[in-house]
């Protein structure tokens, strides 16, 4: 396999990736509206659903929020019936955030059809191709997350570019 990519390959992959991101963004916006929550709260719910349970501090870090902003988001999610706070059985001073059954069911209703469609899409590719796609997506996610941290650092250091 050659690592030398043509400009056309790079452009096509970049365009496809941007289109995928736009599709994800559009679905997440529609899901947020359907659930009656804002995008930050939706991102928090996604993190909690993936983790199963985590502390407010862990959620704040994973979502890129200040501790106060995470607490406010958790408050809203509790009021909506999408998350609950429970005492950590090993350390009663710690509070754990976990998803409710209701939000798990709603997430399945909204995002579940992607699993079936995704399975049909994946069936078109060989195991080797799927391994390569997975490695690409994992690497691309790392690039995105690292760049997001760099941009946050720049914002903290220099303030908004529009100022």
For residue 132, give its domain range: 125-163
Mean pLDDT of 45-70: 95
Is there a domain that residue 2 lies in? no
97: which 2 tokens?
Answer: 């955030």
- What does the DSSP assignment read for 88-157? -SS-TT-EEEEE-HHHHHHHHHHHHHHHHHHHHHHTTS-HHHHHHHHHHHHHHHHHHHHHHHHHHHHHHH
Among 64-68, 81-85, 127-131, the least confident range: 64-68
For the stretch 99-139, pLDDT in tens is: 999 999 999 999 999 998 999 999 999 999 999 999 999 99
pLDDT at position 92: 84
Same domain, 143 and 84: no
Measured distance CA(38)–CA(40) in Å, rounded: 6
Same domain, 83 and 162: no
Is there a domain that residue 78 lies in? yes
Q: What is the CATH number of the domain that holds 92?
A: 1.10.10.10
| Dihedrals phi, psi of 96, to nearest 5 degrees | -110, 140
For the stretch 38-56, pLDDT in tens is: 999 999 999 999 999 999 9
Measured distance CA(145)–CA(43) in Å, rounded: 14
How many structural domains comprise the chain?
2
Q: Decide the pairing of beta strands 95-99 and 83-87.
A: antiparallel
């Amino acid at each position: 396999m050659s690592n030398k990519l043509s400009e056309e390959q790079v452009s096509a992959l970049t365009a496809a990736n941007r289109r995928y991101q736009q599709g994800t963004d559009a679905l997440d916006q529609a899901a947020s509206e359907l659930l009656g929550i804002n995008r930050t709260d939706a991102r928090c719910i996604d993190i909690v659903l993936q983790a199963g349970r985590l502390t407010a501090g862990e959620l704040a870090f994973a979502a890129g929020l200040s501790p106060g902003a995470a607490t406010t988001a958790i408050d809203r999610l509790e009021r909506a019936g999408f998350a609950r706070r429970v005492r950590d059985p090993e350390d009663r001073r710690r509070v754990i955030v976990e998803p409710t059954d209701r939000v798990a069911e709603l997430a399945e209703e909204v995002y579940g059809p992607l699993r079936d469609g995704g399975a049909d899409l994946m069936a078109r590719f060989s195991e080797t191709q799927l391994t390569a796609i997975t490695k690409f997506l994992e690497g691309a996610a790392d690039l995105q997350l690292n760049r997001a941290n760099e941009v946050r650092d720049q914002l903290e250091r220099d303030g908004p570019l529009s100022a």
